[in-house]
Amino acid sequence: MNTKNSTVVERFLKYVAFDTQSDGNSDTTPSTHSQWLLAHALKAELEAMGLENISLDEHAYLMATLPANQLPVTGYRLPVVGFIAHLDTSPDMSGANVKPRIVENYDGGDIVLNAAEKVVLSPKLFPELLQYKGEDLIVTDGTTLLGADDKAGIAEIMTAIEYLQQHPEIPHGKVRIAFNPDEEIGCGAHLFDVAQFGCDWAYTMDGGELGELEYENFNAATAIVRIKGLNVHPGYAKDKMRNASLLATQFATAMPQADRPERTTDYEGFFHLTAISGTVEEATLTYIVRDHDAKKFEQRLATLQHLTSEFNKVYPADTVMLHIKQQYRNMREIVEPQKHIIDLAKQAMLEAGITPVVRPIRGGTDGAQLSFKGLPCPNIFAGGVNFHGRYEFVPIQSMEKAVEVIVNIVKGVGGKTQ
């Protein structure tokens, strides 16, 4: 397939110029004004392409339609498939003034990203680099993230839609696309209007390396542990003082030490202490709790509840208070019964010469929340590697293959009825 995919690179380089970091401390949607700038730019681009039913709502959810060029078989309805990517980049590192650079025909050695700051992208630390020897890599200048998560996904969707427009000989049904804000802070699907999107199923183009296909994710919750202390002048504290900060460290130590992110992999869940703060008077621990297995997930929450209870037996009642907030669930239970969605994506990859890599997501995705809102939504690779940091890179050839996979999915749907 000759896609002239230099356009996917041109688009990507244009999109990463927008600083679209989301902000988890904001109470607005989108959480940052900068996401609006990219949303409006994409809306103008979609209008110039001549797509239909273009809508940009008050929360920066952008949707559009590539109309069908194929009449449905009498008595059958041609499925409507969608493709989704998110506007924001991670707040973990600056996305301002991104200065991407293309390393052509990567030779397998070290890539100096920033000589002044001695930032080097090396296969010694990142051995996955060697998988891309001979390919062309887009890298950072070592001072910001790149933004392939998920501006690569946006560029791939836009380029695939343009390709389909340029090749009307490819029969297809209606295709919907959507770009949403605030995925990186877990809010991307909160205000997503599934009914307005109007798809039978969709795919988020938000995965990592070439070939990734994911329809399993963590069950997820946050847990806030608040500890009340008793502050007494240290000169007179004997048998009186209750140091909340020390109790916080004791609580953290009492948690299962083998169940931390740095000690788990694949289907293994974890407790992740993301923040701890405190004084003698009060202290707070913040955990994220993750597990693919629903029963094990509930057991993890029970562990926190049990430990809280045990502390309150030793110390005055309500010394330790636990607040659990459910975040999202494993979309496998929604997607797996509709196996044709996964089979279609696998076939699209095989046709593009890609070996599908089906693996669980050790994280979350908008697709999980959307699946439980009635839109089955597996996740497909966008091609980027080392997301959320200065060592992020994306192989151009992986982006080109992602475009081909999107086109193949649309072709595959066009050959089916339901």
Residues noted as catalytic:
88, 183
Cβ neighbours for 350, distance < 8 A, ≥ 6 positions apart: 356
Q: What 3-state class would DSSP assign to 74?
A: coil
Q: What would you report as the CA-atom Rg of the chain, rounded to the nearest whole angstrom?
A: 24
Torsion of CA 89, 43, 207, 392, to 10 degrees: -40
Cβ neighbours for 74, distance < 8 A, ≥ 6 positions apart: none
Decide: 243 and 317 in contact? Cβ < 8 Å: no
What Cα–Cα distance (Å) separates residue 55 from each residue in 24, 317, 349? Answer: 25, 53, 30
Q: How far apart (Å, rounded) are the C-alpha atoms in residues 24 and 39?
A: 19
Q: How far apart (Å, rounded) are the C-alpha atoms in residues 143 and 46?
A: 32
Q: Which residue has the tokens 């709790």?
A: 289
Torsion of CA 348, 350, 353, 358, to 10 degrees: 100
Decide: 391 and 144 in contact? Cβ < 8 Å: no
Closest CA to 383 of 132, 83, 185, 92: 132
Q: How far apart (Å, rounded) are the C-alpha atoms in residues 390 and 386?
A: 8
